[in-house]
Amino acid sequence: MYWLLDNSVLSNFSLAGEIGLLKEKLQEKLAIPEEVKKEFLLGIENGIVPKTDINWLRILKRKDDEERLFESFCSRLGKGESACLAIAINRKYKLFTDDIDARNTAQRFEIPVSGTIGMLIYLVYKGYISLEEGNKILSEMISKGYYSPIEILDDLIK
């Protein structure tokens, strides 16, 4: 089972200069739909995110039976979130997104969902990074424009 990343989570790690952390520790788990790759590359082209190598990520194409779901979500969500949701629902993958509408939709379809904070918590919990490193990465993300619901991870690590 793969973990799907949408552009918001991918961009947060890129902006903090931490894509390498995801590659090193979670490469085998992570995947993105083609639409997320297009959104991310457009962000690089427009100077929103730094030039970042994401060629190590597994790129997933939608299957025929995911098209109807994808189209239905596109009426209110971006193509990246819509593709992530269609694939996650059909294939029972976990979704990482910070988009509240995408998260709510995933929950309605009983798809495991988390976001940037959840990814950082997982990295700390597994011992891939220390709590101090996690807080430093979160702080860097916030300084680059991430609208985080929290300022430090401490209260979420038990």
Predicted TM-score (pTM) of the model is 0.95
Tell me the pLDDT tens digit for each residue of 89-104.
999 999 999 999 999 9
Instruction: Name, in order, each residue with C-beta under 8 angstroms of 86's C-beta and a sequence gap of 6 or more.
Output: 62, 66, 67, 69, 70, 73
- What local confidence, expressed as pLDDT, does residue 79 receive? 97
Predicted pLDDT of residue 1: 86
Q: Residue 98: which H helix or E strand, with range?
A: none
Cα(66)–Cα(73) distance, integer angstroms: 11
At 118, list the tokens. 């959840």
The per-residue pLDDT for 157 is 85
Give the whole-angstrom CA distance, residue 49 versus residue 46: 8
pLDDT score at 63: 94
pLDDT confidence of residue 75 = 94
- For 3-118, CATH gives 3.40.50.1010
Please give the structure tokens belonging to residue 63. Answer: 């299957």
pLDDT for the residue 11: 97
Domain boundaries, the chain: 3-118
Question: What does each of the 158 residues of the chain score in pLDDT, given as a tens digit?
Answer: 899 999 999 999 999 999 999 999 999 999 999 999 999 999 999 999 999 999 999 999 999 999 999 999 999 999 999 999 999 999 999 999 999 999 999 999 999 999 999 999 999 999 999 999 999 999 999 999 999 999 999 989 86
Cα atoms found within 13 Å of the Cα of residue 135, Cβ hemisphere only: 10
User: Residue 20: CB partners within 8 Å, gap ≥ 6?
Assistant: none
Compute the distance between CA of residue 105 and CA of residue 9 in angstroms, rounded to an integer.
17
